[in-house]
Structure 1
Amino acid sequence: MNDLEQAKVVLLGDANSGKTSILQRYIGKTFNNHSSPTIGSTYLTKIVDFNRKSIKLCIWDTAGQERYYSLAPSYAREAKVCMLVYDITSKDSFYNLDRWYNCIKDHLAENVIIVIVGNKHDLESKEAVPVEEVKNFAEIIGAMYMRTSAKCDTGIEEMFIEICRELVGNDSIQKMPTYRSANSVKLEPVKIEMVKKKKKCCK
C-alpha cells in the first residue's frame, strides 16, 4: 500500500440507503434532507492523520439503482475498503446486500476491509431487520459491522477511525477475520444460507 499513503474506499448499496449523506457528513460536516440520488459515481478525497501516518482516502460514492449493478466490480477492484451500506428501516436494502457482495466478491483484494454499515440509526424504533441477522451476515463474509446516523452525525467519525486503524495494521492482516466465504451468499428473511451455485447478478 506504499506505506499507507493512499487507500481506495468504495461505498455500495441500494439507492436511499444514505451513502452520499454519510460522506457529506464525514467530509463536509453537512446533512441535506433532500439530497438527490447519485448518478454513476462521485469521487471524494480526505487526508487523515492516524497513528503518526497520513492516509489519503480516495472514496468512490456509487449509485444504488439497479441499472448500476454491473458497474460495481469495476469500482471494487483494487479497493482497500469496501463499505456495504443499508437503511436499517428497509428490509430490501439489507437483503439486497447479498447481491452487491456477490457482484464484487471475485474482484476484491485478498486483504480488503469490508464494512457492513447500518445507516439511519436515529430511526432505530423502526428497525426492519434483527441486528443478530446482520451480524451473522457480517461474520459470513468476514466484515465489520458498524451503525451510523448521517442525520444526527452518530458513529461516522468513529467508523472511519476504525477503518484507518485496520488500514494501518493491514499489512499482516492479523486483525482481519480468518474466514471469508468463497461461495455466493444468499440472504433471506430470518435466516442466511450459503449456496454453492454462483448467483448471477451482474447482467
Structure 2
Amino acid sequence: MVQFSLRRRFQRRVLVLRRCIRRLLDRVFMSCLGKTVRYRMLPHAIMMTPASPSSPPSSSSSSSASPSIANESSSSSSKDVINVAPAPTSASINNEVDSDLVSLKITLLGDAHTGKTSFMVKYVGGEEEQGRVEGKGLSSIGKTLLVKGARISYSIWEVEGDEKSKDHIPVACKDSVAVLFMFDLTSRCTLNSVIRWYQEARKWNQTAIPIIVGTKFDDFIQLPIDLQWTIASEARTLAKALNATLFFSSATYNINVNKIFKFITARLFDLPWTVERNLTLGEPIIDF
C-alpha cells in the first residue's frame, strides 16, 4: 500500500510539472511573436475563384483593396491582418463590358430645314443617358443596340445646312461608315444641293456608304401627283448617278427611319436582312 501511494504521488507531481512546462512554453512562444494575428474569412466569390499561384503579388494591392478592408488595416496598425485579394477596379470592369461594343459613326448632311434634326431625334428616341452634344454648326447624339449578341453604338453627327457649317464637314465625315444626304421632298432645290454635299463629303471620306434620304414624306403625298412623279424620278436618277440607295422617309410618322439604320448595319456586317425595293408612286420609295 505504501509503495502504491508513493507511485501515485510521483505521477501527480509529474503531471503538475508537465502543465507548468507547457504554460511556460506558451508564454515564451507568445512573447516571441510580440503581436497577435487575426484572420479574416474570405468572401464566397473569392473562395470560388482562387488566385493563380504563379502570379506575382501586386505592389499596389493594399491601396486598391476594398474600402472596408483598407480602413480596418489602417486603424489596427499594431496587428497583422490577412487581406483578401483586391476587388477589380472600375477600369477593368469597363474594359470587360466594352469588349463586345462596336462603334459606328454616321453623318447627316443636307441643306437647312430639311428635317435632319427631327430624323436623328426620332431614331434615337428617349435615350437621354447618351444625350445630345451641340456646337456651332455641328451636333451629335448616340444610341446603342444589341445585334446578334454584340452591342452596336451608333454615333450620329449632324452638320447644319448653312454656309458657315461647311467647315465642320471634314470632322463630321472622318471615320464615318455611312453618310446620309438629306433633302426635303417638297423642295426641289434641296434635292439639287445633294450633289454639292456629296462632293464635299467625298473629299474627306471615299469609303462611307452613300444614302440619299428624302424627308417629309407625309407632306410630299399632299402634292399633285404629277409633281410627285417628277421629284421621285429626279431623285431616283440622282441616286443611280451617285451609286447611292434612295429612301423616302417621314420622321413625324416614323416611316423608313429605323429601316435606314437596319440597312446600314446589314451592309456593314453582311447580315441576312434585305430591304425590298418599292417604286410605287404615292408610297415611300426605296430604290437601289
When normalised by structure 1's length, the TM-score is 0.72
TM superposition outliers: structure 1 runs of 4+ over 4 Å? none
Q: 1:3 to 1:79 in 2, by over 3 A?
A: farther
- Which of 200, 204, 208 is residue 103 of structure 1 equivalent to? 200
Residues 48 and 55, structure 1, Cα contact 8 Å, conserved in 2: yes
Provide the residue aligned with 1:116 in structure 2.
212
Partner AA of 1:102 in structure 2: Q
CA offsets per residue over residues 57-102 of structure 1, 9 Å max, x none?
Answer: 1110111112222322331121111000100000111101111111
Alpha-carbon distance, 1:48 to partner: 1.9
Taking the aligned partners of 2:110 and 2:260, their CA distance within structure 1 comes to 17
RCO (CA 8 Å, sep 6+): is it higher in 1 or 2? Answer: 1
Taking the aligned partners of 2:123 and 2:260, their CA distance within structure 1 comes to 10
Taking the aligned partners of 1:48 and 1:69, their CA distance within structure 2 comes to 30
Taking the aligned partners of 2:152 and 2:126, their CA distance within structure 1 comes to 19
Provide the residue aligned with 1:45 in structure 2.
142
Alpha-carbon distance, 1:122 to partner: 0.3
Residues 188 and 231, structure 2, Cα contact 8 Å, conserved in 1: no
When normalised by structure 2's length, the TM-score is 0.52
Q: Percent identity?
A: 26
Structure with the higher fraction of residues in helix conformation: 2
Taking the aligned partners of 1:98 and 1:4, their CA distance within structure 2 comes to 34
Residues 4 and 167, structure 1, Cα contact 8 Å, conserved in 2: no
Taking the aligned partners of 1:139 and 1:52, their CA distance within structure 2 comes to 35
Taking the aligned partners of 1:49 and 1:136, their CA distance within structure 2 comes to 35
Provide the residue aligned with 1:78 in structure 2.
175
Taking the aligned partners of 1:81 and 1:137, their CA distance within structure 2 comes to 18
The answer to whether structure 1 residue 57 and structure 2 residue 158 are counterparts is no
Partner AA of 1:46 in structure 2: K
DSSP 3-state at the match of 1:130: helix
Provide the residue aligned with 1:151 in structure 2.
252
Taking the aligned partners of 2:150 and 2:250, their CA distance within structure 1 comes to 28
Partner AA of 1:166 in structure 2: R
Q: 1:70 to 1:7 in 2, by over 3 A?
A: same
- Which of 165, 173, 184 is residue 87 of structure 1 equivalent to? 184
Alpha-carbon distance, 1:43 to partner: 1.2
Taking the aligned partners of 2:239 and 2:137, their CA distance within structure 1 comes to 26
Bigger Rg, structure 1 or 2 = 2
Provide the residue aligned with 2:270 in structure 1.
169
- Which of 106, 111, 120 is residue 9 of structure 1 equivalent to? 106
Q: 1:84 to 1:45 in 2, by over 3 A?
A: same
Residues 106 and 177, structure 2, Cα contact 8 Å, conserved in 1: yes
Equivalenced residue count is 163
Partner AA of 1:157 in structure 2: N
Structure 1 unaligned segments of length 5 or more: list them.
31-37, 176-203
